[in-house]
Amino acid sequence: MAKEITDSNISRVGLVTTDTCSTNEALWEILETDLKTKHIMSIPCDSHGLQLLIKYILLRERIKQHWDEASSLVAAFKKALK
């Protein structure tokens, strides 16, 4: 797909990201072994890990209190008549 987007000029690609660790590790191997793609940086994206981090942050008492207040405010607006 990168070749299609860049009209086969892969040197125009500077950064890629993936959605899972196993996919990212496989991509790193491919990028490192091909001289045409060695310049491309790969940024891992662990969406599940990020979700857990946010969950744990929101469970902290001081943060949870503000989150609950904000959620109540949003819910009130959502239910309000226009």
CA distance 57 to 76: 24
pLDDT, mean of residues 57-61: 91
pLDDT at 33 (0 to 100): 87
- Which of 7, 15, 4, 5 is closest to 37 using CA atoms? 15
- pLDDT (tens digit, 9 = 90+) per residue, 5-56? 888 888 888 877 777 778 878 888 888 888 888 888 777 766 767 787 888 8
